[in-house]
Amino acid sequence: MSFRATILTLYPEMFPGHLGTSLAGKAMERGQWSLDTVQIRDFATDKHRTVDDTPAGGGAGMVLKPDVLARAIDHDASVDLWRRYQRGERDVFTRRLYTLKGQQTFDEIKRKYDREPEFRTAVDRYIADFEKLLADVARTDRDRTVTQSYLTSDTGKVYTMLAHAAGRLS
């Protein structure tokens, strides 16, 4: 059995670094595990390839920009999958939704959601707020076109990835 690690980073040239030495390095050489890196700037589109911003409401640190994350999701697949999900089809999000790099991003978000209580709390709050917005819109959106627009917007794509990682979409 082989283990595959994916590291999202601004500095892919730093890897494998120390992970390529000692026992870990020998295991890598034997094919017992492998390492992929994803340059998160590849998803940025501005002149400076910006991937982070200050947190909403202030505070220390930086957060990944939602539009950068949203580009990791295949837009056409997202539209199709939401339509099918709204018609009652289940397990549609376990099929092809993400680009290759987007799948790697999803996997990392899922791991972080499972391991870090603070991250889980922030994700759950985002999901709840977005679902409240959808419920408010749905009350007057008879043909679901506005709801569909919200779900396939960049913010909706972030919601989709986070809700999927949290196990809310099955």
| Residue 48 domain-assigned (yes or no) | no
Specify the pLDDT at position 153. 81
Residue 145 pLDDT greater than 80, yes or no = yes
With a pLDDT cut of 70, the percent of the chain lying above it is 85
| Alpha-carbon torsion (119, 123, 128, 132), positive or negative | positive
Of 92 and 32, the structure prediction assigns the larger pLDDT to 32
For 31-77, write each residue's pLDDT tens digit: 888 887 777 788 788 888 888 887 777 777 777 777 776 665 566 66
Report the distance separating Cα 47 and Cα 150, nearest Å: 27
Domain hosting residue 97, numbered range: 64-165
The letter for the amino acid at 84 is R
What mean pLDDT comes out for the span 78-85?
74
pTM above 0.75, yes or no: no
Specify the pLDDT at position 70. 66
Specify the pLDDT at position 12. 86
Contacts of 64 (CB under 8 A, 6+ apart): 40, 51, 52
| Residue 117 domain-assigned (yes or no) | yes
| Residue 78 domain-assigned (yes or no) | yes
Specify the pLDDT at position 132. 92
| Residue 39 domain-assigned (yes or no) | no
Q: Number of structural domains, the chain?
A: 1
| Residue 123 domain-assigned (yes or no) | yes
| Residue 9 domain-assigned (yes or no) | no
For 4-15, write each residue's pLDDT tens digit: 776 767 788 998
